[in-house]
Amino acid sequence: MAIAIAIATTATARAEAQPQVRADPERAPTLTIDRYSEDWSYLADPSRRTGHWTEPFKYIRLNQDGSAYLATGMEARSRYEGYTNVNWGSAPNDSYIWHRFMPYADLHDDNVRFFVQPILSAITGTSRPVRPADTTGADMLQAFGEVDLNVGEGTSFRMSAGRKLISLGAGRFIDTRYGPNIPQAFDGLDAAVTTPERKVTAMYFRPVDNQPGDFDDRTSDQKAVWGIYATQWLRENHALGFDLYYLGLRDRKAVFDQGIDREMAHTFGARLFGDTGAWFWNFEGALQRGTFGMKNVAAWGIGGEFGHRFQDLPLQPEIQIMADVISGDSDPDDGELGTFNPLFPRGKYFGALSPVGPRNLIDVKPTLTVHPRSDVAVSLSAAAYWRQSTTDGIYAVPGNLVRSGKGSDARFIGNQVELTVAWQATSELNLTASISAFDPGRFIAETGPANTITLVAVMATFRF
């Protein structure tokens, strides 16, 4: 269970997309990944408009008093990825271009809203079978209704039902899978009570299973997730606080080095986060209990990230370091499963190149980011990975077994380095390029092909 940055939307954007270009509030309001959490109602006041060309699309008045309005927007993204030595040479080289177009419409009428966001997607340049994260053709990514009521002084109650993107806390257990081509949507309902100091959310969702054809995505009958997530803010700007949560998971076909069976996992966790502008930190720990077939689950994860922004120095450098210890199974022959299940984590978990995911893992990852201009960020990161348990295998981000641990007692998996450049060319257009390499360690060498994985990626994203 790796740990990301303090603010959930910032954490998701950093790990899933590109290094962060410093925000300029006069250029454009902050955009989000889920889009439905954006509030454009302030544009009802003509004096608050700046004349930016997108404003007529963000607030369309539908009645005289402005209580009913429509907000619209879109994202168009193309991303090229070229791999050599996929899975350290156990799979053919691969290159392709992902395309997606995601318009949305957000209808508000007093305390009721309806949000819809279709997706049109494709993958070109590859002959391999497509995966759920590659393309879903034309389908409905989000579609839900919501009621938001004022139930007391400064207290609101919100309930929604339908299909939506979800990200909780730092996005380590339930997140949007924004980096790959097809985000991970969920069908279900959630309800939240929010005050100026805290927010408590209860939810029940089942993930959406993506299919490559048009309008053929369906609610999963294999997996379901539910829980309660509470956040206590310690400052008015919500930059400092802590989370407490319980998340339950049912997976009828969970995959581990021990085999495939039904898993019922109960995760109890806490997160402490903060961002002062100069210093930022995020520390998180979780315990997991439940059953896997006839065995008991006893897993855990702990980690953290902290960093500092040198805002008064040339290039405004930012240094951060992430470290995690995520449990693996210590004995495949006993009656207990010790491998931690991260549920639905981010797609680009450790960066653009993420051949391993947050199960049975120890990792250390320092990152240096500099800003040659206010609209350019250059980030260099290095990472080292070990197995937490030498009797368990290593897993990909979606949870599939990459290499079994039965053929080696080595702990070291390998080193990774990644260089990323992001340019916010306009308020709407972001251009990003990255180059990555993963040099295998002893465990990879003793369990199969052990060539260095390389990745070159180029991405253009237009969003408003």
> pLDDT tens digit string along 38-54?
999 999 999 999 999 99
- Percentage of the residues of the chain whose pLDDT score is greater than 90: 89
- Average pLDDT for 191-197: 97
- 265 contacts: CB under 8 Å, gap ≥ 6: 248, 249, 251, 288, 289, 290, 297, 299, 341, 343
Q: What pLDDT was estimated at residue 148? A: 96
User: Tens digits of per-residue pLDDT, 303-314?
Assistant: 999 999 999 999
CA pair distance 261, 256, nearest whole angstrom = 9
Bigger pLDDT: 307 vs 17:
307
Question: Residues in the chain, how many?
Answer: 464
CA pair distance 59, 39, nearest whole angstrom = 10
- 262 contacts: CB under 8 Å, gap ≥ 6: 250, 251, 252, 253, 254, 291, 292, 293
Confidence check: pLDDT of 216 > 80: yes
Distances (CA, A) of 74 to 32, 57, 175, 418: 11, 10, 20, 29
Confidence check: pLDDT of 445 > 50: yes
The residue type of 176 is: T
Q: What pLDDT was estimated at residue 152? A: 87
Q: What is the number of other CB atoms lying within 10 angstroms of the CB of residue 167?
A: 25
Spatial contact of 49 and 40, defined as CB atoms under 8 Å apart: no
- Percentage of the residues of the chain whose pLDDT score is greater than 70: 94
Confidence check: pLDDT of 415 > 50: yes
Does an H or E element contain 15, and which? Answer: helix 8-16
Does an H or E element contain 260, and which? Answer: strand 259-275
Confidence check: pLDDT of 281 > 70: yes
Tell how far CA 118 is from the center of its chain.
20
Q: What pLDDT was estimated at residue 16? A: 53
Distances (CA, A) of 57 to 51, 66, 143, 169: 12, 15, 19, 30
Residue 30: band (very low, low, confident or very high) from pLDDT cuts 50, 70, 90: low
Q: What pLDDT was estimated at residue 31? A: 85
Beta bridge partners of 145: 114, 161
Spatial contact of 248 and 288, defined as CB atoms under 8 Å apart: no
Confidence check: pLDDT of 9 > 70: no
Q: What is the DSSP string of 268-295?
A: EEEEEEEE-SSEEEEEEEEEEEEEETTE
Q: Given its phi and psi angles, is residue 388 left (phi above 0), alpha (psi -120 to 50 degrees) or beta?
A: alpha
For residue 358, give the nearest of 404, 303, 410, 307 by alpha carbon: 303
Q: What pLDDT was estimated at residue 386? A: 98
Bigger pLDDT: 52 vs 18:
52
User: Tens digits of per-residue pLDDT, 110-147?
Assistant: 999 999 999 999 999 998 999 999 999 999 999 999 99
Helices (H), 17-167: 55-58
Distances (CA, A) of 191 to 150, 160, 176, 202, 205: 14, 6, 19, 5, 12
80-83 contacts at long range (C-beta below 8 A, 24 or more positions apart): 80/456, 80/457, 80/458, 80/459, 81/352, 81/455, 81/456, 81/457, 82/455, 82/456, 82/457, 83/453, 83/454, 83/455
CA pair distance 107, 68, nearest whole angstrom = 8
Q: What is the pTM of this model?
A: 0.92
Q: What is the DSSP string of 123-188?
A: EES--SPP-TTT---EEEEEEEEEEEEEEETTEEEEEEEEEEE---TTSSSB----SSSS--EEEE
Mean pLDDT of the chain: 93
CATH number of 8-463: 2.40.160.100
User: Tens digits of per-residue pLDDT, 310-365?
Assistant: 999 999 999 999 999 999 999 998 989 999 999 999 889 999 999 999 999 999 99
- CA atoms in the 13 A half-sphere facing the CB of 270: 4
Q: What pLDDT was estimated at residue 18? A: 54
Helices (H), 21-84: 55-58
The angle formed by the CA atoms of residues 378, 380 and 381, to the nearest 5 degrees, is 145
Confidence check: pLDDT of 14 > 60: no
- Average pLDDT for 273-283: 97
CA pair distance 287, 268, nearest whole angstrom = 5
Confidence check: pLDDT of 27 > 50: no
Domain range list for the chain: 8-463
Confidence check: pLDDT of 274 > 60: yes
CA pair distance 407, 390, nearest whole angstrom = 10
